[in-house]
Each structure stands twice: as structure tokens, then as C-alpha cells.
């Protein structure tokens, strides 16, 4: 009988999680977050960090990355 209580709790929590996810989906559609996915994905880029250009590196990675890129391009 103890597993019945656990089953009810897990089912209730699962239903609550599903309902909150469904609410979040409807909210995002209502607010226009899903209207233009292409534009939304590019909104984080600006002139300082253009799209497609790697500008942030871990410490010490920048030099190695630039050397590797120059070798691939044939520039020494």
C-alpha cells in the first residue's frame, strides 16, 4: 500500500510539470517569442561580436586557435 502513495505523488508531480510546460509554451506563443525564430537567434549578435566570428576564448586558447586557423588557410 505504500507504493500507492508514491505512485500518486509521482503522477501528481508529473501532471504539474506537464501543465507548467504547456502553460510556458502557450505564454511564449502569445508573447511572440516563437514568431520569428531566425531573427530571435541572431538578436544576441552585434557589431562587437558579429555572427559567425569566434571572439571569446578560454585563457590561452586564442593564440592556438588563431595559429590553427592560419595553418588551415595556408597563411603562416
Kindly report, residue by residue over 29-54, the tens digit of the pLDDT. Answer: 999 888 887 776 666 677 766 666 66
pLDDT score of 69? 58
16-20, 41-45, 52-56, 67-71, range with the lowest pLDDT = 67-71
Average pLDDT, the chain: 78
Residue ranges covered by each domain of the chain: 2-73
Full DSSP string of the chain: -HHHHHHHHHHHHHHHHHHHHHHHHHHHHHTTTTS-HHHHHHTT--SSS-TT------TTHHHHHHHHHHHHHT--
pLDDT score of 1? 65
Read off the pLDDT of each residue in 48-75 and give the average, rounded to a whole number: 65
pTM over 0.75: no
Amino acid at each position: 500500500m505504500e507504493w500507492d502513495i508514491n505512485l500518486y505523488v509521482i503522477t501528481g508531480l508529473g501532471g504539474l510539470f506537464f501543465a507548467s510546460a504547456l502553460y510556458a509554451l502557450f505564454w511564449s506563443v502569445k508573447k511572440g517569442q516563437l514568431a520569428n525564430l531566425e531573427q530571435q537567434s541572431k538578436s544576441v549578435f552585434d557589431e562587437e561580436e558579429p555572427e559567425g566570428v569566434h571572439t571569446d576564448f578560454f585563457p590561452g586558447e586564442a593564440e592556438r586557435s588563431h595559429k590553427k586557423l592560419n595553418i588551415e588557410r595556408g597563411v603562416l
